[in-house]
Amino acid sequence: MSRPDPETARAASGSQIDTPRERALGGLYAFTAYLLWGFLPLYFLLLAPTGPFELVAWRILLSLIFCAFLLTVLRGWGRLLAVVRRPRLLLWTGVAGALIYVNWQVYILATLSGHVIEASLGYFMNPIVTVVLGVVVLRERLRVVQWIAVGIAVAAVAVIVVGYGDFPWIALTLAFTFGIYGLVKKRLGPSVDAVSGLTLESAWLVPVAAVILIVVGSTSGLTMGAAGPWHALLLSLAGVITAVPLLLFAAGARRIPLTVVGLLQFIAPILQFIIGAWLLGEPMPLERWIGFALVWLALIVLSVDSVLFARRARGVSDVGELT
């Protein structure tokens, strides 16, 4: 999955009229984006017999084509060229592309190999990993409650490793690649809009996609057009299905508070967990339930602290305006 950092999306929007209608519309946009991301495993499973590497390759190429179409319709080529003329920004989009490739590849490998539940764990852990990266990379100082949430999350990983006997490398890879991706997007800031960013990230990955398609085509054979018209239609929509939630998210995140965005982001992993546990019947032994319960507890602690801190900050701001 490819989900941009909420602060980046809000900053990129510029000024926005803060009205109840705009907030309601923003909430609907963001909710729809996370809902679509939550159902992605079912879409990827419908694409059988396409393998995970071929699927990612088509996702890259078709996303680039769809973004080029959007840039033409929205007259955004000027903004894209402005980014290309700045080598530092262009380089950072390449870094973002590399991170999102690893994220996409691991996510689709997990989905197609019966590890949807562990993939959902990665996105449950993402807010906690983001907090940790803020301390390590940005030298941010955590509040006591945030440290407690991080400690609970570490305990959850320990339970899964010791009790379940399996290191959750899929979950941690997804959480850290997306967390670092968020940091890169934050560095890019409002200088790179959502469509231009995804276009350049996809463009950097075109050589990777080309190599994958050549290797798959010369070994097992490509499935595009070889598994019937319905399959070809579904696979050809990979670019649209990648880009549309991103654009909905960008439109929603600039209209609603970050605390609301933070709470809505749990919709996707909850749906993925339900799909893995109940629709696909993936195993959930006691140790894994305990590990997930600890992660959920950490998220509750983190979310409540975030909401209370935002309210206190807003109260201080209001007092300052009155004085």
- Per-residue confidence (pLDDT) for residue 103, from 0 to 100: 93
- Per-residue confidence (pLDDT) for residue 309, from 0 to 100: 78
Spans of the chain, pLDDT less than 50? 6-16
- Per-residue confidence (pLDDT) for residue 15, from 0 to 100: 43
- Per-residue confidence (pLDDT) for residue 11, from 0 to 100: 46
- Per-residue confidence (pLDDT) for residue 4, from 0 to 100: 54
Query: How many whole angstroms separate alpha carbon 243 and alpha carbon 107?
Result: 16
- Per-residue confidence (pLDDT) for residue 12, from 0 to 100: 43
- Per-residue confidence (pLDDT) for residue 177, from 0 to 100: 93
- Per-residue confidence (pLDDT) for residue 256, from 0 to 100: 76
- Per-residue confidence (pLDDT) for residue 8, from 0 to 100: 46
Q: Map out the domains of the chain as residue ranges.
A: 6-127+168-283
Q: Could you tell me the pTM of the whole model? A: 0.84
Query: How many whole angstroms separate alpha carbon 155 and alpha carbon 98?
Result: 30
What does the H/E/C string look like for the chain? CCCCCHHHHHHHCCCCCCCHHHHHHHHHHHHHHHHHHHCHHHHHHHCCCCCHHHHHHHHHHHHHHHHHHHHHHCCCHHHHHHHHCCHHHHHHHHHHHHHHHHHHHHHHHHHHCCCHHHHHHHHHHHHHHHHHHHHHCCCCCCCHHHHHHHHHHHHHHHHHHHHHCCCCHHHHHHHHHHHHHHHHHHHHHHHCCHHHHHHHHHHHHHHHHHHHHHHHHHCCCCCCCCCCHHHHHHHHCHHHHHHHHHHHHHHHHCCCCHHHHHHHCCHHHHHHHHHHHHHCCCCCCHHHHHHHHHHHHHHHHHHHHHHHHHHHHHHHHHHHHHC
